[in-house]
Amino acid sequence: MNRPSYLLVSILVAFFVTFMLRALPFMFFNGEKKMPIWLEQLGKALPSSIMAVLVVYCLKGVKGDPIGIGLPSLVASLIVVLSYKWRRNTFLSIILGTTLYMVLLRFF
């Protein structure tokens, strides 16, 4: 199998697997069946758990370099939280936090 066809097959397999993983819940729970209680509870708890893991991962370097990495990370995180509370706009919060973090890294 030559390289272009190998890449095409790889892309098609990745597409099919991703599509099926996205479509599977709709095929099983198409409105006629009620979701299990544990799945509903997982759907409520998982987003905040994932965000907590992402925050810990983002701030893991603070201990090693509290001024160079720690201060910009903490300030940018605070701006993300405050801007989200203010405008309830995830995109704006991400853009503001990322921009501020990059600016602070440049100056510290």
pLDDT of residue 17: 96
Nearest to 58 by CA among 101, 90, 93: 101
pLDDT of residue 1: 63
The Cα angle at residue 76 between residues 71 and 81, in degrees rounded to 5: 130
Q: Is the dihedral of CA 13, 18, 22, 25 positive or negative?
A: positive
The size of the chain, in residues, is 108
pLDDT of residue 16: 97
**pLDDT tens for each residue of the chain, 108 residues long:** 677 888 999 999 999 999 999 998 888 877 777 878 998 899 899 888 888 888 888 788 777 777 777 888 889 999 999 998 999 888 999 999 999 999 998 887
